[in-house]
Structure 1
Amino acid sequence: MSRGNITVPYEPPQWNSAPAWKLPGWGEPVMVASILVTSMIFNRRRGFRILDRRRQPQGLLNEEPDSPRSSDDLLTREQMLAHESGDDDSVESLTTMKNAPKKRRCCGMTLYTPNTSRFANHFHSRIMQKFPFLMEMFYWIVTFAFYRISKILSQAVFSKTGIWDVAMDHALAILEFEQFSWLSFLWPVHERDVQQWFMHGHQTWLTILNRSYALIHIPGTVGFLGWWYYSAPSFNTFATVRRTMTLTNFSAFTIFVFYPCMPPRLLPPEYGFLDSVGRDNGQSVWMSGKYVNALAAMPSMHFAYAFSIGCVLLYHSGIFRKILEPGEVRKSKFWQIFFLWFGIAYPLFILVTIIATANHYYLDAGVGFLVTIIGFLCNRVFMVFVPLEDLLLWCLRLEKPIPSTTDRTRRSILV
């Protein structure tokens, strides 16, 4: 298949649109940090005082600090009971034993891990109890570290062949597949035609898309997590979404390592794509720099995140659920329609944005959709790390905080 079939005559563009804002290097990280801190404060445990070590209710249902809780309140945690012996006195003794080991089921095995409840009154544990969202912030710092590693590993894997050339070959292979394979009917309008439509007579909209691409992805996703931590009908539901997005990340990072792919905007000019976001040095800190993998177009994490968020909003609307979760109240028609509309519009808006700004191919969004579905179906795979989390918390002498999600619901029940 000749690559000449996917090239076009190059014409210097006539720009009327504006690129991404030229923010200082610290601007966007400070923005994200501000969103995280705001989420941490907003999701704090009301009524809990860090410096007051007198006996306080640890949760709104008066949960004890050494109560058997798992990482996501999804794993059962039993005390070491002598059920086989049938000795009631022994069972009662072990049940009331303080700081009994946690019993975990992992890969078909039963593991006993240290109980960190003895550290509940340590100062850093009490900070975590006051601000339980700190635990979510820690998870996403780990995720970013893996993203950073993916770039280093990919460069190492293709150090001899040259990662730039390999990434361009992969990009052109995607264009050829979209235009000439038996599945080409799925993409009747080519990516460059979408961008050219905005370039000719619609560059005001292109300005909006340029700045949306640069600023919505990371801040918007972080803000969504803070909102969902507060608004989810249960912590289990929040944790399912968090694990799904995390597994989607790790699946994508693996593809980044072994399948580097150049975004359309970085292809030579003869392929017809323009870098509308980054022209005039209007780069976002999330698109350039040593911490960014510029050759990670496949899959599109912009679309994967947007699709995840859209599905959560549709679920949150309650329209497609006959039975709500315990304590959840049916929303008014206005809010049902709002979440329904937003849940559909947001992924579509991001899809148009990544195509019109030449940052992704259609196939990138398609694979992003697939890894999100796989992430949801397989999200419980992260449960195998719960024993490791127990050991890490033990080493840190830290008791894991009780999530503040659904505190509002519990408070209304108690009243």
Structure 2
Amino acid sequence: MAANMTIAYEEPEWNSAPAWKLPGWAEPIMVASILVGAMIINRRRGYRIFQRNTQYNLSNDDTDSTRSSDDLLARDYMIDSDADSTEYMSTMKNPPKKRRLCGIILYTPNTSRFADHFHSRIMQRFPFLMEMFYWIITYAFYRCTSVLSNALFSETGIWDVAQDHGLAVLEFEQFSWLSFLWPVHERDVQQWFMHGHQTFLTVLNRSYALIHIPGTVGFIAWYYYAAPSFNTFATVRRTMTLTNLFAFIIFIFYPCMPPRLLPQEYGFLDSVGHNNAQSVWMSGKYVNALAAMPSMHFGYSFCIACTLLYHSGIVRKTLEPGEQRKSKPWAIFYLLLAVAYPAWILITIIATANHYYLDACMAFFVAIAAFLCNQIFFVMMPLEDLLLWCLRLEKPIPTTGNAARRRNMA
């Protein structure tokens, strides 16, 4: 059937002005500016880094914000029921933490004794640094997918395997019993843009490069500030992180060639490369170019859209404690953005031939699965306790929701 998917290939003349070329340092500076801005906006007001033995007043913070990050998992001190143990624990300045994990009780070191260390005070002043740490780890895992996938398919040749998988996706979309879901083929979408709408395609090429990482980082920075509570923000962050990890596993075991890299007889053009609009984050030795399935562009946009819809309050009868109902114009704004953003991303990934329809569908289900399983990250909390102990670092108290509480008290 693969032969039926080929067409007479004739690359149309590129008439539009090329996408503006960004210098190599522009995107890193953009992302760094977003992160530094988020650190400043989300800083803990009234806390002084250079003042030792600071006793910061947390009375105005929401109860869930005073707890350790991701601390829906029980965190208690090791206080046993017998009187001798209780008397002994009462004499300890920093009793160990008790973590309940899958029915097992684990005791981990209490890092509160390091709260007055200089690097702990920096983290307490700028708690968003903890979120930056999480995302650096996630990005490092992504960089490993190319190495692991190449090692796994070293004998068969990963390029041929990925091409076979890409063609299998096209064949499924066009000839399976679900073909009615995609009445317009990806190739026809790109060809429509290539013939008479190349200026629009140039805009899509640039947005494909710029939106994914700077846009997602900007969203995380904004929602850390705007979320009604830290637990709500942490649920979104865990969902997006787990969406990443699920996708990374698929990238390793199911390398899939994007349409733009298929042989020319299949009718696709690498418009982003042709337009010289590649993202600096998507270049280099460890970038996985054969990671079309699932589409993380769409997976992220779907998570962001659901968050915006939740944030609008339209789909909720009750609000979180301390949260105020959005005005009708703001609620409509968030609703429209929740619809427009994933729609724009879907058009972009198809028109630029970076993904198949099935990639977006798979990303949808991966994101749903990640949301349902997001609390799986609680199994990492004892390990995080040990890491913080080794670093002699006390985990910062998040500031999410503080701005809303200050407005309510004004």
Counterpart of 1:353 in structure 2 is 348
Matches within 5 A, 1:119-130: 119-130=114-125
CA distance in 2, matches of 1:277, 1:12: 14
SS of equivalent residue, structure 2 residue 215: helix
Q: Kindly tell me the number of residue pairs found equivalent between the two proteins.
A: 409
Residue 412 of structure 1 deviates from its aligned partner by 4.2
TM-score (norm. length: structure 1) = 0.94
What code does the residue aligned with 2:37 have? T
CA distance in 2, matches of 1:18, 1:276: 13
Counterpart of 2:78 in structure 1 is 80
Residue 80 of structure 1 deviates from its aligned partner by 1.9
CA distance in 2, matches of 1:242, 1:256: 21
CA distance in 1, matches of 2:91, 2:61: 17
Query: Is 1:134 aligned to residue 129 of structure 2?
Result: yes
Residues 295, 355 of structure 2: 8 Å contact kept: yes
Work out the percentage of aligned pairs sharing the same amino acid.
Answer: 73
Counterpart of 2:30 in structure 1 is 31
Counterpart of 2:16 in structure 1 is 17
Q: 2:187 aligns with which of 178, 183, 192?
A: 192
Matches within 5 A, 1:157-236: 157-236=152-231
The answer for unaligned runs of 5 or more in structure 2 is none
Residues 19, 276 of structure 1: 8 Å contact kept: no
Name the stretch that deviates more: 8-17 or 150-159.
Answer: 8-17
Residues 77, 103 of structure 1: 8 Å contact kept: yes
CA distance in 1, matches of 2:91, 2:231: 27
Residue 278 of structure 1 deviates from its aligned partner by 1.2
CA, structure 1 residues 102+175, in 2 after alignment: closer, same or farther (shift >3 Å)? same
Query: Is 1:290 aligned to residue 285 of structure 2?
Result: yes
CA distance in 2, matches of 1:118, 1:269: 63
Q: 1:107 aligns with which of 95, 102, 116?
A: 102
What code does the residue aligned with 2:380 have? F
Residue 289 of structure 1 deviates from its aligned partner by 2.0
Residues 48, 56 of structure 1: 8 Å contact kept: no
CA, structure 1 residues 60+30, in 2 after alignment: closer, same or farther (shift >3 Å)? farther
Residues 32, 222 of structure 1: 8 Å contact kept: yes
Query: Is 1:318 aligned to residue 317 of structure 2?
Result: no
Query: Is 1:276 aligned to residue 275 of structure 2?
Result: no
Residue 7 of structure 1 deviates from its aligned partner by 0.3
Q: 1:147 aligns with which of 139, 142, 151?
A: 142
CA distance in 1, matches of 2:287, 2:17: 23
TM-score (norm. length: structure 2) = 0.95
SS of equivalent residue, structure 1 residue 286: helix
Deviations 1:35-62 (A, max 9, x none): 1111111111111110012533253537
CA distance in 2, matches of 1:198, 1:403: 46
Residues 299, 368 of structure 1: 8 Å contact kept: yes
Name the stretch that deviates more: 3-12 or 69-78.
Answer: 69-78
CA, structure 1 residues 256+103, in 2 after alignment: closer, same or farther (shift >3 Å)? same
What code does the residue aligned with 2:200 have? W
CA, structure 1 residues 47+70, in 2 after alignment: closer, same or farther (shift >3 Å)? closer
Q: 1:388 aligns with which of 358, 383, 392?
A: 383
Name the stretch that deviates more: 11-20 or 345-354.
Answer: 11-20
CA, structure 1 residues 23+387, in 2 after alignment: closer, same or farther (shift >3 Å)? same
CA distance in 2, matches of 1:380, 1:255: 20
CA distance in 1, matches of 2:276, 2:190: 20
Residue 197 of structure 1 deviates from its aligned partner by 1.4
What code does the residue aligned with 1:9 have? A
CA distance in 2, matches of 1:63, 1:121: 23
Residue 360 of structure 1 deviates from its aligned partner by 0.3
What code does the residue aligned with 1:79 have? Y
Query: Is 1:371 aligned to residue 366 of structure 2?
Result: yes
CA, structure 1 residues 96+61, in 2 after alignment: closer, same or farther (shift >3 Å)? farther
CA, structure 1 residues 209+282, in 2 after alignment: closer, same or farther (shift >3 Å)? closer
Residue 23 of structure 1 deviates from its aligned partner by 2.2
What code does the residue aligned with 2:10 have? E
CA distance in 1, matches of 2:349, 2:243: 18
Residue 409 of structure 1 deviates from its aligned partner by 3.0
Name the stretch that deviates more: 146-155 or 36-45.
Answer: 36-45
Residues 101, 379 of structure 2: 8 Å contact kept: yes
Residue 15 of structure 1 deviates from its aligned partner by 1.4
CA distance in 2, matches of 1:405, 1:315: 16
Residues 58, 66 of structure 2: 8 Å contact kept: no
CA distance in 2, matches of 1:43, 1:321: 26
Deviations 1:78-107 (A, max 9, x none): 222232x3x4x8647635742111010112
Counterpart of 2:392 in structure 1 is 397
Deviations 1:362-382 (A, max 9, x none): 000001111100000000000
CA, structure 1 residues 215+55, in 2 after alignment: closer, same or farther (shift >3 Å)? closer
What code does the residue aligned with 1:36 have? L
Residues 22, 284 of structure 1: 8 Å contact kept: no
Name the stretch that deviates more: 265-274 or 380-389.
Answer: 265-274
Over the aligned positions, Cα root-mean-square deviation in angstroms equals: 2.0
What code does the residue aligned with 2:75 have? R
CA, structure 1 residues 390+193, in 2 after alignment: closer, same or farther (shift >3 Å)? same
Matches within 5 A, 1:251-266: 251-266=246-261
CA, structure 1 residues 365+237, in 2 after alignment: closer, same or farther (shift >3 Å)? same
CA, structure 1 residues 74+37, in 2 after alignment: closer, same or farther (shift >3 Å)? same
The answer for unaligned runs of 5 or more in structure 1 is none
Residues 60, 411 of structure 1: 8 Å contact kept: no
CA distance in 1, matches of 2:405, 2:104: 35
What code does the residue aligned with 1:57 have? Y
Residue 414 of structure 1 deviates from its aligned partner by 5.3
